[in-house]
Amino acid sequence: MCGFAGFLDSPARFTDNCEEVARRMAERIAHRGPDDSGTWCDAEAGIAFGHRRLSIIDLSSAGHQPMPSPNGRFVLAYNGEIYNHLDLRRQLEAQGAAPAWRGHSDTETLLACIEAWGIEHSLRASVGMFAFALWDRADRALVLARDRMGEKPLYYGWQGDTLLFGSELKALRAHPAFNAAVDRGALALLLRHNYVPAPYSIYQGIGKLPPGTWVRIVAGQRDIRPTPYWSLAEVAEHGVANPFDGSENEALDELERLLGNSVKGQMLSDVPLGALLSGGIDSSTITALMQAGSARPVRTFTIGFEERAHDEANHARAVAAHLGTEHTELRLGAADSLQLIPQLPAMYDEPFADSSQLPTHLVMKLARRSVTVALSGDAGDEIFGGYNRYFLGPKVWRRIGWLPPPARRALGAAMLALPAPAVNRLAGPFARRVGIALPGDKMHKLGLRMRTVGSMDDLYASLVTEWPHAERMVVDGRIPPNLVDDRDRWPKLADPVARMMAMDALTYLPDDILAKVDRASMAVSLETRAPFLDRDVIAFGWSLPMSMKIRGGKGKWLLRRLLDRHVPRALIDRPKMGFGIPLDDWLRGPLREWAESLLSAERLRREGYFDPRPIRETWERHVQGNGSFGYRLWSVLMFQAWLEQQEPR
């Protein structure tokens, strides 16, 4: 695991300090690679790379980057792991296309593949998580590429006449050409989704390379259009059109084989390795498969909460005890969050408002004390149908969808008009009527949805929205073109639940979950790996009929059966909790003074990004207990905290 940065400029503007600039850019992301550093510069071509290395495979100097190819044509700066790189070496050797290997790093393997097969073939053949920058000295062309699901980040964009690129925005900020102007369209999207979705970033002119794509940039080219080499939407459509035709037991055996192979491949490491264990289905399955293939106890790590309603540590402890892992646990309270919050803006580079970023970082910090690599259960929900909205959404829609739109709007408005105590009194009878348990704050949210939805797709769009009409909150705000709003670009799947799952995998997974995990782990120089994101596991998951994912009002049916082979169901069978924190209570209590200072009306007016009125109204309702709006307010707070730490340019 590593980090890189660089720039492409006119040779006429290059100076003798190009390597120094590249070094400063890479130094900003030293946490991604504390073990080694390097720079490379070709002033005549106007290109410079800086690199930081976290040594995982081949700890020797043979893995040093930026790395030139044996024939000198290519230079590579690379971040990630290619799990099948030894297989790729064997293929090259069988074809007589392998160089005289200098070491056993996957960086060297990737370079050899590109030299022998070209970019497209090499990307399709590689299994892993990665982002890289490649300079072709013969064609004077820069190639940027990102892995299939977006596990590893890659930012790029023109700032004046200089193209900047790198693993994190802080590296780009170190270049003299960087312009730190905020993109107000991206800010509106942040308020709507609690993250800035690709292809945007919080800065004007800088974007994220979409997952599964690559770009080739030659001198003078300003219009950069990513080329896909793999498409999740196509994989989903193909899987649904060509479903698995075996029995349930055969599907179970195939899932164990594919996921077991993925876990085995991702346990390849020259440094200590462990697992992040929450005690839920996904992380428990990964840990069980790791332990089944290991001769010694796997090291496992979990975070617990002082508030029992959010605490899963005892479940993780029970799973660890059953599997015989070497388990470590740490408890989190509001005081821990207060200490961590000032670090979040620098850690995430752009405002990021998934509040589980707090415990996620702390569990990474805990794991890093003992290991350098940790496997996680991320992506099990999107592939195997784990989120509550996949089965509760259709249930709600069956109960209210028959109402004429005016009646739905009137009922929703009435629910929103009631004070929180009254809504709480109504929650019980409503829950019995529709067969869904909904606390008062969820009833308020349902009321908001009912005013605007006319279909299951509308319901999904509303469920992934925190601030409705977020553009009205932002001074000079707008909602730029994006996938959630452009339904012509949604995967062509007849089942609305399948569309939800695919959309989550295309948006929420890479831009929220994987971004959160990458920044939280790399901030402490820990590499994380997600076996569920193996391309064969993804393809198999999409070939399964929905009945093998959602059954009996629960998700991940087949995955649960796989876990039954390793862990007693009594240790796992409970409602899904997620990895959230008691944010609503903390904002009314220990975080209230901090939040109040960031949300003062005078401050909001002075900074000029937000309309203070709706924010103050929402904040006052929240602290008075007339609704729970913690997750909505967190996006504003994270932007404010980020803005406070921005360096003047």
Spatial distance between the Cα atoms of 329 and 323, rounded to a whole number of angstroms: 16
Spatial distance between the Cα atoms of 487 and 502, rounded to a whole number of angstroms: 12
| H/E run at residue 442 | helix 440-450
Fill in the amino acid letter for 19: E
For residue 150, give both structure tokens: 């977006």
Contact 414, 406 (CB under 8 A): no
**Catalytic member of 2, 18, 41, 113:** 2
Q: Clarify whether 2 is annotated catalytic.
A: yes
Residue for token pair 């639940």: 497
Q: Is 109 exposed, middle or buried (0-12, 13-18, 19+ CB in 10 A)?
A: buried
For residue 334, give both structure tokens: 């509001």
Spatial distance between the Cα atoms of 512 and 107, rounded to a whole number of angstroms: 27
Please report, to the nearest 10 degrees, the dihedral formed by the alpha carbons of residues 285, 289, 290, 294 taken in order.
150
CA distances from 265 to 46, 121, 268, 290, 485 (A): 39, 21, 6, 11, 38
Give the full edge-to-edge strand order of the sheet including 47-53.
Answer: 36-42, 47-53, 2-8, 162-166, 155-159, 207-208
Spatial distance between the Cα atoms of 36 and 63, rounded to a whole number of angstroms: 10
Q: Which residues of 567-588 are buried (b: 16+ CB within 10 A; e: fewer)?
A: beeebbeeeeeebbbbbbbbbb
How many CA atoms are closer than 13 Å to the CA of 439, on its beta-carbon side? Answer: 3
Residue for token pair 């195939």: 254
**Phi, psi of 224, deg, nearest 5:** -100, 115
Please report, to the nearest 10 degrees, the dihedral formed by the alpha carbons of residues 111, 117, 123, 129 taken in order.
-30
Per the rule left: phi > 0, alpha: psi between -120 and 50, beta: everything else, 313 is alpha
For residue 62, give both structure tokens: 């043979």
Give 235-293 as a 3 state SS string: HHHHHHHCCCCCCHHHHHHHHHHHHHHHHHHHCCCCCCEEEECCCCHHHHHHHHHHHHC
Q: Is 68 helix (H, G, I), strand (E, B) or coil?
A: strand
Q: Is 177 exposed, middle or buried (0-12, 13-18, 19+ CB in 10 A)?
A: middle
Residue for token pair 């996620």: 360
Peptide bond into 199 cis (omega under 30): yes
DSSP codes joined into one string, 575-632: ---TT---HHHHHHTTTHHHHHHHT-HHHHHHHTSB-HHHHHHHHHHHHTTSS--HHH
The CA angle 170-172-173, to the nearest 5 degrees, is 65
**Residue 435 CB neighbours (<10 A):** 12
Question: Residues near 2 by Cβ (< 8 Å), separated by ≥ 6?
Answer: 32, 33, 51, 52, 53, 54, 65, 78, 79, 80, 167
Catalytic residues: 2
